[in-house]
């Protein structure tokens, strides 16, 4: 979320101003701690904003981050369970995303771009209140554990303390003579024991302790151990409820036909034939799309096929991949730069030696979540109720407000997501379903996009073009490193479509993250970016800017190693000597990947890539076999991850394995191309994915660490691109500087 802090600060200036005019007292009243008890859901007792206990002892944990496969419901529940002293048994614990948009559920790390543990002073206090006032609830940026690590443990410790005190008061003994274990409080001296279910009501009458003592890392019992995920059993019997699975009585189902040309609009709709289809109930012109409502998806789809729509291309019908490529090239060669790093005098250092230069290129990419875009809404008595597989209920609320400014209320149920990868932070589907629900007051409308609409109207990962230049010293190490890229601001495109203020633009961090913070020691470094605008809608794609820069930097550094006739692993280790954490990671990667051994067989090669993103360091070594026919088999990927304190090691391993496969699909096939102002690809037959037979063996090793935790959902993605590209070079001598492989004469085997 580039520049969000500053932008939100500016955009909400008026609101804050109003707040301050009322007095600091108003901001003080915004609860960003959430530790007060109260009434819970369905007869449960609420001990604080995250923990409720039912009389039967079942514990409900409110995890205000959405589960899209990353295992966050288990991870956040582990943080609470560690301090609350409960077992993480799916039969005893319910973990769900709360419907309430409480200030305490704000993603403060995402908003302030700072760890909670580092927040202090009046400015941070004010910003916490401002984000809490919104409230800024978001699952993204691999920030959920980073944000929740301390507050969720405090929530658990606070509740545990109140339960222990309640038991001690009941028994008339000192609280320090009692302890909590497995959902009970025990008085060991007398052998008495009470369950949390029996104690909850009394505990809720007590004041939360002001400073509950948290366990040291030595005392952790759950954190750092592999825990089975709470959502897995239901997902093996079709029982997990994704947004698309929403069933509400008397519901109708809609689908959508959007203007194929980006930024075009509906000129006219002839809906006679569509309305004549049996089971079609209504056709709604949404301005840039047409919605068709029917009894079932089948009827809506059949109606949509019978629509006759004339589109107004608004002059954007000539945009193509070729015109966009020309704009990128022009931007790289001319135009105003945003310089994000400028160490030493790179221009002078480049003039003083033999310049090594390479140009790298990446395409637009679609998210293609397995669950197509969808949402369900009903409009009744001036208020909405919404079922939404979303990464930000805040953005969902803004979307409904944009469609119906005078709505009285909105209740948002955040469901399970069939993949997210950044796509479900976008609000396009919510603006549409709001308008469709308004067209049929009192009737719940489930809007389901076809896969074709999903691929052709994604918020794409920006394409990027980068030119890098370097000069090596006598020892082969770079003395000058220049990175220039032309791309587009994902944050600007996203914010214009989805939120009430603009973010990003010329200085959008997501356009140069991973390059500006390139870790290798070089005396003269310059990173400059030129962001341009096209009609193509953009968004945040798993690892965002790092998905581009990780490939560029690690591909080029490999070229420098080759020019220096150095071993690519040792070359990196030399350049990381000043950074103990990354050097240790590289050392472990060298050992675990058997780097020093020779690969058996012909056409074999190894490639290494190391990249830091979302506060986590990941190194990957890919082993490939390249055939004479250009067939590339990725045999094995060894992944070493340093994410600080590990919470659930099995989730970390799963995220690394998954990121490798996700990136491999993009590397091998991923390309969204534009022709006549619209996306060329439409379904999985033209936007292909890696299947089981192509997936490499993935080995994950976690660096033992006591540092504060980093993110896990995204950081496994960026290193894979260059690891495989560099392995292909090692195996075949051919440099891959442009993705996907399919366009470079290679085919994934």
Q: Which stretch binds another protein (CB under 8 A): 15-23, 106-114, 124-132, 217-225?
A: 217-225
Contacting residue, 78, 137, 445, 700, with another protein by CB under 8 A:
700
The token pair at 467 is 């030119």
Q: Which is nearer to another protein, 3 or 302 (CB)?
A: 302
Q: Which is nearer to another protein, 209 or 649 (CB)?
A: 649
521 binds another protein (CB under 8 A): no
d(CA 63, CA 69) in angstroms, rounded, equals 14
**Cβ atoms of residues 312 and 261 within 8 Å:** no
Q: Interface with another protein includes 706 (CB under 8 A)? A: yes
Judged by DSSP in three states, 329 sits in helix
In degrees rounded to 5, what are phi and psi of residue 179?
A: -145, 160
749 makes contact with another protein (CB under 8 A): no
Our finding on whether 303 is near another protein (CB under 8 A) is no
Q: What is the nearest approach in angstroms of another protein to the Cβ of residue 447?
A: 13
CA distance 526 to 524: 7
Comparing CB distances to another protein, the nearer of 186 and 300 is 300
For residues 186 and 539, give the distance between their C-alpha atoms in angstroms, rounded to a whole number. 52
699 binds another protein (CB under 8 A): yes
Residue with Cβ nearer another protein (455 or 522): 455
Q: Rounded to whole angstroms, how far apart are CA atoms 64 and 137?
A: 8
658 binds another protein (CB under 8 A): yes
The single residue among 400, 662, 669, 729 that binds another protein, judged by CB under 8 A, is: 662
Is position 684 an interface residue for another protein (rule: CB under 8 A)? yes
Of 174, 176, 180, the closest CA to residue 82 belongs to: 180
Is residue 555 a contact residue for another protein (CB under 8 A)?
A: no
Going from the C-alpha of 270 to that of each of 37, 383, 439, 698, the distances in angstroms are: 57, 31, 18, 53
One residue of 203, 654, 724, 725 binding another protein per CB under 8 A: 654
Of the residues 125, 171, 297, 398, which one makes contact with another protein according to CB under 8 A: 297
Task: Give yes or no for residue 241 binding another protein (CB under 8 A).
Answer: yes
How far is it, in rounded angstroms, from Cα 148 to Cα 136? 14
Among 28, 190, 217, 602, contact with another protein (rule: CB under 8 A)? 217
Distance between CA 147 and CA 132 in Å, rounded? 14
615 touches another protein (CB under 8 A): no
254 touching another protein, by CB under 8 A: no
| Interface pick for another protein out of 29, 190, 296, 323 (rule CB under 8 A) | 296
Indicate whether 275 belongs to the interface with another protein (CB under 8 A). Answer: no
Q: What is the DSSP string of 445-489?
A: EEEE--HHHHHHT--BBPPEEEEEEEEE-TTS-EEEEEEEEEEE-
214 binds another protein (CB under 8 A): no
- Nearest partner of 715 among 632, 644, 622, 665, judged by Cα: 644
* Cβ atoms < 10 Å from Cβ of 343: 13
233 is an interface residue for another protein by CB under 8 A: yes
Per CB under 8 A, the segment of 16-24, 194-202, 503-511, 698-706 that binds another protein is 698-706
- d(CA 592, CA 244) in angstroms, rounded, equals 42
Range list of H helices, 12-119: 13-22, 24-28, 72-84, 108-112
Interface residue with another protein, options 236, 334, 354, 597 (CB under 8 A): 236
Stretch in the footprint of another protein (CB under 8 A) among 94-102, 130-138, 415-423, 726-734: 415-423
Q: Establish how many alpha carbons lie within 13 A of residue 274's alpha carbon, considering only the half-sphere containing its beta carbon.
A: 27
- What is the dihedral sign for C-alpha 737, 743, 747, 748? positive
The label of the residue with tokens 């490529």 reads 325
Q: Which of 21, 120, 237, 310 binds another protein (CB under 8 A)?
A: 237
Q: Binders of another protein: how many residues, by CB under 8 A? A: 84
User: Using CB under 8 A, which of 22, 207, 228, 318 touches another protein?
Assistant: 228
Q: Which residues are registered as beta bridge partners of 674?
A: 679
DSSP 512: T
Residue 338 class from Cβ within 10 Å (0-12 exposed, 13-18 middle, 19+ buried)?
Answer: middle
Rounded to an integer, what distance in angstroms lies between the CA atom of residue 609 and that of residue 274? 53
Q: Are 111 and 136 in contact (CB under 8 A)?
A: yes
Pick the closer one to another protein by CB: 188 or 234.
234
* Cβ proximity to another protein, 476 vs 658, nearer residue: 658
When asked if residue 660 is in the footprint of another protein (CB under 8 A), the reply is: yes
The answer to whether 420 contacts another protein (rule: CB under 8 A) is yes
User: CA-CA distance, 461 to 389, in Å (whole number)?
Assistant: 20
Under the criterion CB under 8 A, does residue 448 sit at the interface with another protein? yes
Residue from 645, 680, 734, 749 binding another protein (CB under 8 A)? 645
From candidates 82, 83, 371, 554, binder to another protein by CB under 8 A: 371
Asked if 540 and 140 count as a contact pair (C-beta separation under 8 A), the reply is yes
Residue 203 Cβ, how far from another protein at the closest point, in Å? 29
By C-beta, is 468 or 646 nearer to another protein?
646
Based on the shown chain and the rule CB under 8 A, indicate whether residue 144 belongs to the binding site for another protein: no
Distance of CA 623 to the CA centre of its chain: 28
Q: Determine, following the binding rule CB under 8 A, whether residue 276 of this chain makes contact with another protein.
A: no
Nearer to another protein, 104 or 425 (CB): 425
Stretch that binds another protein, among 136-144, 404-412, 444-452, 598-606 (CB under 8 A): 444-452
Residue 707 engages another protein in binding (rule: CB under 8 A): no
Piece of 103-111, 126-134, 239-247, 462-470 that binds another protein (CB under 8 A): 239-247
418 binds another protein (CB under 8 A): yes
Q: Phi and psi (nearest 5°) for 72?
A: -70, -30
Instruction: Say if CB 428 and CB 286 are below 8 A apart.
Output: no
280 belongs to the binding site for another protein (CB under 8 A): no
> Which residues have a Cβ under 8 Å from the Cβ of 621 and sit 6 or more positions away?
569, 589, 593, 595, 606, 607, 608, 637, 638, 723
Q: Is 704 in the site for another protein (CB under 8 A)?
A: yes
* Residue 416 near another protein by CB under 8 A: yes
Q: Judged by CB, which is closer to another protein: 364, or 481?
A: 364
Q: Are strands 616-626 and 604-613 parallel, antiparallel or unpaired?
A: antiparallel
Closest distance to another protein from the beta carbon of 739 (Å): 18
631 is a site residue for another protein (CB under 8 A): no
Q: Is residue 584 near another protein by the rule CB under 8 A?
A: no
- Decide: is 541 part of the binding site for another protein (CB under 8 A): no
Taking CB under 8 A as the binding criterion, the range among 224-232, 395-403, 495-503, 533-541 that sits at the site for another protein is: 224-232
Q: Which of 369, 354, 293 is nearest to 66 (CA)?
A: 369
The minimum distance between CB 102 and another protein, in angstroms, equals 26
Distance CA 136, CA 113 (A): 13
Among 238, 310, 336, 408, binds another protein (CB under 8 A): 238
> Binding to another protein by residue 436, rule CB under 8 A?
no
């Amino acid at each position: 979320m580039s520049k969000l802090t500053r932008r939100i600060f500016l955009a909400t200036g008026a609101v804050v101003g109003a707040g301050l005019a009322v007095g600091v007292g108003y901001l003080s009243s915004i609860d960003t701690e959430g530790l007060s008890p109260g009434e819970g859901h369905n007869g449960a007792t609420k001990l604080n904003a995250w923990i409720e206990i039912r009389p039967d002892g079942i514990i409900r944990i409110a995890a205000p981050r959405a589960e899209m496969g990353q295992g966050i419901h288990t991870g956040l529940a582990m943080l609470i369970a560690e301090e609350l002293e409960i077992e993480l048994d799916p039969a005893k614990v319910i973990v769900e995303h709360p419907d309430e948009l409480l200030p305490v559920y704000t993603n403060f790390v995402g908003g302030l771009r700072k760890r909670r543990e580092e927040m202090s002073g009046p400015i941070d206090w004010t910003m916490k209140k401002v984000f809490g006032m919104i409230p800024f609830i978001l699952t993204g940026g691999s920030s959920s554990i980073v944000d929740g690590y301390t507050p969720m443990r405090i929530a658990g410790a606070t509740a545990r303390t109140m339960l222990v005190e309640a038991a001690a008061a009941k028994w008339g003994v000192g609280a320090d003579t009692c302890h909590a274990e497995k959902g009970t409080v025990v008085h060991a001296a007398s052998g008495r024991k009470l369950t949390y279910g029996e104690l909850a009501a009394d505990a809720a009458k007590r004041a939360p302790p002001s400073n509950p003592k948290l366990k040291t890392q030595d005392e952790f019992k759950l954190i750092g151990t592999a825990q089975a995920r709470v959502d897995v059993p239901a997902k093996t019997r079709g029982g997990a409820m994704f947004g698309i699975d929403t069933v509400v009585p008397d519901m109708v189902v809609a689908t959508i036909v959007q203007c194929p040309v980006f930024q075009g609009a509906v000129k006219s709709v002839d809906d006679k034939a569509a309305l004549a289809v049996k089971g079609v109930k209504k056709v709604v012109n949404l301005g840039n799309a047409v919605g068709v409502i029917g009894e079932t998806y089948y009827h809506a789809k059949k109606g949509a096929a019978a629509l006759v729509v004339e589109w107004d291309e608004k002059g954007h019908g000539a945009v193509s991949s070729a015109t966009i490529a020309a704009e990128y090239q022009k931007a790289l060669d001319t135009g105003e730069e945003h310089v994000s790093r400028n160490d030493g005098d790179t221009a002078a250092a480049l003039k003083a030696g033999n310049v090594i230069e390479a140009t790298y290129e990446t395409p637009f990419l679609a998210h293609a979540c397995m669950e197509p875009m969808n949402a369900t809404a009903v409009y009744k008595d001036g208020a909405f109720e919404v079922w939404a597989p979303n990464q930000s209920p805040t953005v969902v609320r803004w979307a409904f407000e944009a469609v119906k400014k005078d709505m009285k209320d909105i209740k948002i149920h955040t469901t399970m997501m069939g993949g997210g990868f950044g796509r479900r932070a976008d609000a396009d589907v919510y603006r549409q379903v709001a308008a469709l629900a308004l067209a049929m007051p009192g009737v719940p409308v489930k809007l389901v996009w076809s896969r074709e609409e999903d691929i052709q109207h994604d918020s794409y990962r920006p394409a990027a073009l980068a030119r890098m230049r370097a000069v090596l010293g006598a020892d082969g190490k770079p003395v000058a490193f220049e990175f220039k890229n032309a791309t587009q601001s994902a944050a600007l495109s996203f914010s214009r479509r989805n939120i009430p203020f603009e973010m990003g633009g010329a200085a959008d961090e997501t356009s140069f993250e991973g390059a500006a913070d390139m870790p290798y020691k070089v005396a003269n470094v310059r990173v400059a970016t030129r962001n341009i605008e096209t009609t193509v809608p953009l968004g945040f794609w798993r690892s965002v800017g790092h998905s581009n820069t990780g490939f560029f930097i690690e591909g080029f550094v490999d070229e420098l190693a080759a020019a220096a006739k150095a071993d690519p692993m040792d070359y990196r280790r030399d350049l990381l000597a000043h950074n103990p954490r990354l050097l240790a990671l590289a050392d472990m990667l060298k050992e675990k990947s058997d780097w020093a051994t020779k690969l058996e067989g012909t056409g074999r090669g190894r490639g290494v890539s190391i990249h830091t993103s979302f506060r986590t360091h990941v190194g990957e070594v890919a082993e490939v076999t390249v055939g004479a026919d250009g067939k590339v088999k990725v045999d094995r990927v060894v992944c070493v991850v340093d994410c600080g304190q590990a919470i659930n090691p099995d989730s970390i391993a799963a995220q690394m394995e998954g990121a490798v496969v996700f990136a491999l699909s993009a590397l091998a096939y991923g390309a969204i191309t534009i022709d006549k102002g619209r996306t060329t690809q439409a379904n999985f037959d033209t936007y292909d994915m890696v299947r089981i037979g192509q997936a490499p063996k993935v080995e994950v090793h976690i660096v033992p660490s006591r540092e504060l935790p980093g993110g896990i959902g995204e950081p496994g993605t960026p290193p894979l691109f260059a690891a495989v590209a560099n392995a292909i070079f090692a195996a075949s001598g051919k440099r891959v500087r442009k993705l996907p492989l399919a366009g470079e004469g290679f085919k994934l085997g």
